[in-house]
A and B are shown apart, each in its own frame.
Chain A
Amino acid sequence: MQLPPALHARLAGAPGSAEPLPVERDPAARTAPFRFAPRPVRFPREHDFFEEGDVQRHLYLQDVLMQVGGAPERPRVPEFTCQVAGCCQVFDALEDYEHHYHTLHRNVCSFCKRAFPSGHLLDTHILEWHDSLFQILAERQDMYQCLVEGCTEKFRTSRDRKEHLVMRHLYPADFRFDKPRKSRGPVMPGAAEQVLAEALGDDGVPSEGDAMEVCSEHVEPPPVPAGERRAYSHRIPSTICFGQGASRGFKRAKKRNKHQ
């Protein structure tokens, strides 16, 4: 199919439309038995017209999906240590480090050092656990925000919220990122350590009943040399801060830290 050479130049040229030739129809044109009338055509989803393209699309998908899911070959780099203060984890692949950083250090509460999977959950946690203003307001109005992004419902208690999550959003009743608090006041860093100890069963899964966490798991304690290896729950010395920039909290955090 030979295209006129000027065509490529036209494509590269300026936008513009052709001055249309005069249109002049003869009514005899559409008289029986002739029936042609110009019309734009639309095809719905399942139309056979789309068969070819759909088949090509799925062939492509099959090829793509074959590559997914296996652990990809990672280029190995010389071993390096996580730079966040107090964390001595060692890595030999950048992607591993990236995941570690985002999981453990990225969305960390500066009060209680818990790590969260997203900024959204971290913000919710800080609000509900470390803000006494929240507690005051919560006595009078619905302050507990639904955890599902895009849902604007608010509730009087975290229990009501949980019920909403289960009934409306089909969340599991033991959703790990929504465990109710027991105490009424804001949680202090010291108390957090105690909570950590209580909250963890020995299978690494926070136990249901008394768990007081609106967050993900125990914070990983700094790795200790093999000889002194201990089990999960540790008292994290309050002098340890997991990185200056890595965690987030209110600016007035320092005033609230009664333990120092």
Chain B
Amino acid sequence: MWSRQRGRLKPLCCGVEELRCRRREREAALRKARREQQLVSKRLLRDEALEEAEEGCVAMIFGEAEIQQFLQLAQRGTEEKEREGALVSLRRGLQRPETQQTFIRLEGSIRTLVGLLTSNQALLQLEAARCLHELSHSEQSAVVEACLPATSYLLTYLSGHSSDFIELCLYTLGNLIVESEAVRRQLLPQGIVPALAACIQSPHLTVLEALGYALSQLLQAKEAPEKIIPSVLGSTLPQHMLQLLQPGPKLNLGVAVEFAWCLHYIICSQVNNALLITQGALSTLGLLLLDLAGAVQRTEDAGLELLACPVLRCLSNLLTEAAAEAVGGQLQLRDERVVAALFILLQFLLQKQPSLLPEGLWLLNNLTANSPSFCTSLLSLDLIEPLLHLLSVSNVVSVLVLTVLCNVAEKGPAYCQRLWPGPLLSSLLDTLAFSDTEVVGQSLELLQLLFLYQPGAAQAFLQQSGLQALQRHEEVAQLQDRVHALQQTALHG
């Protein structure tokens, strides 16, 4: 049902342990970059060291004379195979930064390359595009910016029909986009948004995935909320994106991942989410969530969490919009299958990627906060106990779980009654033993609600040595007042 295009990940030659170690290093580097808000950076896009280890054959460093020769042969060679071969050699050389530097400093080199890129010799065009792609990958700004004369052509070719070529142009554009605001300041007036809007109608999955990637980089730019997202929202891109996220037999995971992330960058920038809602974003994403939950049950497919994450984020953020209230009448927002789906996904994330649990619980909070219906669903579908099970995962997760429970409890006696008896009390006593102030604080809030709405709760609490559990927090500044209040209530009713 979910088609997966040809596998992207080729088998690697290093050992499993080495791979794990390498991955941890990469993760650490990315984490650091994110904290510095440098996540969208060329250097991180390609893991250079890992690549070199894999390459096997080391690319040559070419000097000026050699590059000249290749270029001349490519332009004026008599045999087509010869010309192509010259460009292939050049491309290999351009994998080395030294060769890249020499190339851009050579007079007329870019001009010649652009000439070949725009020639009618199809295979030369492809090879020239690959050379350009190599240059666009460079970490050195001078090299990347040398590609700028080609951008108007890259954009023009997006309206063509040759899928391999377009895919290459898109990945090259994606690299250029990431390079700097200066580059984007050229691409925007050159019409990158309308070009992408035209290209997104392509039926080729590889093109769509590449487009999604390029667009996601564009939307992640620092200046995107002011300079880019408004024109994206004004184009036909959002409608097409939502269409590509519709669940069904044509849904492709790789493509969906890219556009879900695009949507996330748009939505969390809070430029005009109401527009997306009128275009059916909530409805589409809700149905997609249901579909995802179905998929995780069926397959061991690696990668569903890559789609789950942005979908969870989009839904959570959209639910905070006033416009969401307006369409609240629509089934999707009241459909309790959404809650069922979410729990199935939480279970999946617990196994696969526990670090993403907070995102799922965030959605659960936003669903239940102001919805008696969803709170009732949690109770009637017997989901309290599974929820409690998550309390041992991490502090962040615990706070969120307790918050959701508070969402339920604060709705009054009818709800608290259904929370009681059961494992809730012993779970709360456990969380009171945590040292994290926020976890304890949230536990205290929940206790207060239970004492208020559930007769017998305070007594049971006392009987289970609740007072001792409270005692250890008597001196903590943020908790004192609440601790004392609860002690009073427990003792005196």
Question: Which A residues contact B (CB, under 8 angstroms)?
Answer: 1-4, 6-8, 10-13, 15-26, 28-29, 32-46, 48-71, 95-96, 98-100, 102-104, 106, 115, 117-121, 148-151, 168-172, 175-177, 202-205, 216-220, 229
Residues in B with CB closer than 8 Å to A40 are: 316, 319-320, 365-366, 369-370
A169 near B190: Cβ-Cβ < 8 Å: yes
Also in contact, A18 and B115, with CB within 8 A (given A7-B343, A40-B319, A52-B356): no
Note all chain B residues with C-beta closer than 8 A to A121: 156, 159
> Across the interface, do B44 and A13 meet the contact criterion of CB distance under 8 Å?
no
Instruction: Please list 17 pairs of residues, one from A and one from B, whose beta carbons are closer than 8 Å in the complex, sorted by A's number.
Output: A1-B386, A3-B347, A11-B344, A12-B294, A18-B376, A26-B452, A35-B445, A38-B369, A52-B356, A58-B39, A61-B213, A96-B123, A102-B165, A117-B157, A149-B159, A150-B235, A220-B121
Chain A, Cβ-Cβ closest to B51:
A66
Does B161 reach chain A (CB closer than 8 Å)? yes
A41 touches B156 (CB 8 A): no
* Distance to closest chain A CB from B319 (angstroms): 6
Given A21-B372, A23-B412, A24-B412, 10 other A-B residues pairs in contact with their CB atoms under 8 A: A34-B485, A40-B369, A41-B316, A43-B316, A57-B261, A98-B163, A121-B159, A148-B191, A175-B152, A204-B76
> A205 to B115, Cβ gap below 8 A?
yes
Q: Return the chain B residue nearest A5 by Cβ.
A: B382
Residues of B within 8 A of A (CB): 8-10, 23, 26-27, 30-31, 34-35, 37, 39, 44-47, 50-51, 75-76, 78, 88, 112, 115, 118-123, 125-127, 130, 133-134, 137, 149, 152-153, 156-157, 159-165, 168, 171, 186, 189-191, 193-195, 197-198, 210, 213, 225, 235, 257, 261, 265, 268-270, 290, 293-294, 297, 303, 305-306, 309-310, 313, 316-317, 319-320, 331, 334-337, 340-341, 343-344, 346-347, 350, 353, 355-356, 358-359, 362, 365-366, 368-377, 379-383, 385-386, 389-390, 406-407, 410-415, 418, 442, 444-446, 448-449, 452-453, 481-482, 485
Instruction: Look across to chain A and name the residue whose beta carbon is closest to the beta carbon of B37.
Output: A46
Residue of A nearest to B413 (CB): A24
Which of B75, B123, B160, B190 is in CB contact (< 8 Å) with A203?
B75
Question: Which residue of chain A has its CB nearest to the CB of B118?
Answer: A176
Q: Are A51 and B309 in contact (CB under 8 A)?
A: no
**Contact with A170, one of B44, B189, B390, B446 (Cβ below 8 angstroms):** B189
CA distance A20 to B412 in the complex (A): 12
Q: How far is the CA of A24 from the CA of B416 in the complex (A)?
A: 11
9 cross-chain pairs, A with B, having the tightest CB-CB distances, nearest first: A150-B194, A33-B481, A20-B372, A24-B412, A118-B159, A17-B334, A102-B162, A148-B191, A36-B445
Contact between chains at A2 and B389 (CB < 8 Å): yes
**Once bound together, how far apart are the Cα atoms of A24 and B409, in whole Å?**
11
Chain B residues whose CB sits within 8 angstroms of the CB of A26 once the complex forms: 412, 452-453
Contact A217 B149 (CB under 8 A): no
Measured between beta carbons, the chain A residues less than 8 angstroms from B261 are 57
Closest chain-B Cβ to A87's Cβ sits at a distance in Å of: 11
With CB as the reference atom, state the residue of chain B lying closest to A167: B189
**Do residues B10 and A67 form an inter-chain contact, with CB atoms below 8 A?**
yes
A120 touches B159 (CB 8 A): yes
Identify the closest chain B residue to A52 (Cβ): B355
CB atoms of B8 and A67 under 8 A apart: yes
B197 neighbours in A (Cβ, 8 Å) = 149-150
CA–CA, A203 and B197, complex, Å = 35
Chain A residues whose CB sits within 8 angstroms of the CB of B412 once the complex forms: 22-26
Pair B377/A17 contact, Cβ less than 8 Å? yes
A149 & B198 in contact (Cβ 8 Å cutoff): yes
Given contacts A3-B347, A7-B381, A42-B317, contact A150 B193 (CB under 8 A): yes
Whole-angstrom CA separation of A90 from B27 in the bound complex? 47
Q: Decide: A44 and B369 in contact? CB cutoff 8 A.
A: no
Interface centre among A11, A24, A38, A71 (most CB of B within 10 A): A38
Judge whether A38 and B293 touch: CB under 8 Å: no
The reply to whether A21 and B379 form a contact with Cβ atoms under 8 Å apart is: yes
- Say whether, besides A38-B368, A40-B320, A170 and B269 are in contact (CB < 8 Å): no
Interface pair B294/A38, CB less than 8 Å apart = no
A235–B12 Cα distance when bound, in Å, is 53
- Complex CA gap A100/B122 in Å reads 5
Given contacts A19-B376, A22-B414, A220-B121, contact A117 B406 (CB under 8 A): no
